[in-house]
């Protein structure tokens, strides 16, 4: 009988709402797991289950054959990979700290350009890097049913795939570095404009005196149907704005998408509308609500 190959050590940086359960699946699978998180308390349960805490992202990264990052903003990704003055005493960044032949996987939803810069800097150092953002939210992270959209070299993706398949039900490489991020941005554009679609539909229905819940049931089975109309609209109609996906995160993603659209000279007027509405929601204090809060939103312009 062949001996089972020991699973490679993984460093997991960023163990929040998404990263926490994802790291947990890798631990459960038997990977040695090295951990860092800006807020240490959020890694405590993983440490209790056998994860190894490190006092910096660099120290954790240096201990892993594979390094996974699941952070908040592109600025966080930039700082963690390239280092900077944000950390106490400055930091060198995980690109410097990673061991030779390491594989870096950024699963944050971030900028395609940054993903390309990370891949280039990694190649210059003899390490591999791919971008692999996800959709599916905290539920998908908990149930390991994420959709994972990857970009980077074929070889690096082939090394990453067995690990990614522990986290998601669908793992696809879309192309070169940055392609995973570009696919995720396309996803977010469809999500955001799709939210406008059903919110405006139920708004015009309610304004005409109809029972919006009845309209939701009637129209969701046909050509107007969508995942969001079936899953988020009923929550919005019942006044439940608890987050599946936060307004502030969608606002971040739409800003990256807008930058990407501008890069290619694309107008994308639907995206412009969605971005304006979600910017307004953020400004009105709804950043920590779920995106379905859009249904209750009345644009300031409409109240003039």
Q: Give, in degrees to the nearest 5, the angle at Cα 198 between 195 and 199.
A: 75
89 DSSP 8-state letter: T
Beta-sheet pairing, 52-53 with 66-69: unpaired
Q: Are 115 and 106 in contact (CB under 8 A)?
A: yes
4 DSSP 8-state letter: P
Q: Does 282 bind a second copy (CB under 8 A)?
A: no
Q: Which of 12, 36, 81, 245 binds a second copy (CB under 8 A)?
A: 245
Pick the stretch among 65-73, 90-98, 99-107, 170-178 that binds a second copy (CB under 8 A).
Answer: 170-178
Task: Tell me if residue 171 falls in helix, strand or coil.
Answer: strand
- Smallest distance, Å, CB 295 to a second copy? 12
Q: Residues 30 to 69: which contact a second copy by CB under 8 A? A: none
Minimum CB distance to a second copy smaller for 31 or for 182? 182
Give the list of residues 6+ apart from residue 156 with CB closer than 8 angstroms, or none. Answer: 103, 128, 129, 130
Q: Which residue has the tokens 């694309």?
A: 266
Q: Does 229 bind a second copy (CB under 8 A)?
A: yes
End-to-end CA distance of the chain: 76
Active site amino acids: 184
Q: Does 219 bind a second copy (CB under 8 A)?
A: yes
Pick the stretch among 10-18, 85-93, 200-208, 281-289 that binds a second copy (CB under 8 A).
Answer: 200-208
Pick the stretch among 72-80, 98-106, 197-205, 281-289 that binds a second copy (CB under 8 A).
Answer: 197-205
Q: Residues 172 to 191: which contact a second copy by CB under 8 A? A: 172, 174-176, 178-179, 182-183, 185-191
CB neighbourhood size of 128 (10 A)? 22
* Per-residue binding letters, 141-160, with a second copy (x by CB under 8 A): ------x-x-----------
């Amino acid at each position: 009988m062949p001996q089972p190959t020991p699973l490679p050590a993984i460093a997991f940086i960023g163990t929040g709402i998404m990263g926490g359960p994802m790291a947990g699946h890798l631990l459960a699978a038997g990977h040695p797991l090295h951990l860092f998180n800006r807020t240490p308390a959020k890694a405590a349960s993983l440490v209790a289950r056998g994860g190894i805490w490190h006092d910096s992202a660099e120290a954790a990264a240096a201990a892993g054959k594979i390094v996974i990052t699941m952070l908040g903003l592109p600025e966080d990704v930039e700082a963690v990979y390239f280092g900077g003055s944000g950390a106490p005493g400055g930091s060198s960044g995980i690109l410097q700290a990673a061991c030779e032949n390491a594989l870096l996987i950024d699963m944050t939803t971030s900028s395609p350009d940054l993903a390309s810069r990370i891949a280039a800097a990694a190649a210059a150092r003899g390490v591999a890097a791919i971008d692999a953002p996800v959709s599916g939210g905290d539920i998908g992270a908990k149930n390991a049913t994420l959709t994972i959209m990857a970009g980077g070299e074929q070889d690096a993706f082939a090394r990453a795939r067995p690990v990614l398949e522990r986290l998601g039900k669908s793992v696809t490489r879309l192309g070169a570095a940055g392609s995973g991020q570009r696919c995720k941005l396309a996803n977010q554009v469809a999500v955001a404009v799709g939210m406008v679609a059903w919110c405006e539909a139920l708004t015009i229905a309610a304004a005409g005196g109809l029972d919006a819940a009845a309209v939701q049931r009637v129209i969701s089975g046909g050509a107007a149907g969508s995942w969001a109309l079936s899953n988020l609209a009923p929550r919005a109609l019942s006044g439940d704005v608890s987050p599946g996906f936060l307004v502030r995160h969608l606002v971040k993603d739409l800003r990256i998408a807008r930058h990407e659209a501008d890069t290619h000279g694309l107008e994308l007027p639907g995206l412009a509308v969605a971005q304006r509405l979600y910017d307004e929601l953020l400004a009105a204090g709804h950043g920590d609500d779920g995106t379905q809060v859009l249904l209750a939103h009345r644009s300031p312009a409409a109240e003039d």
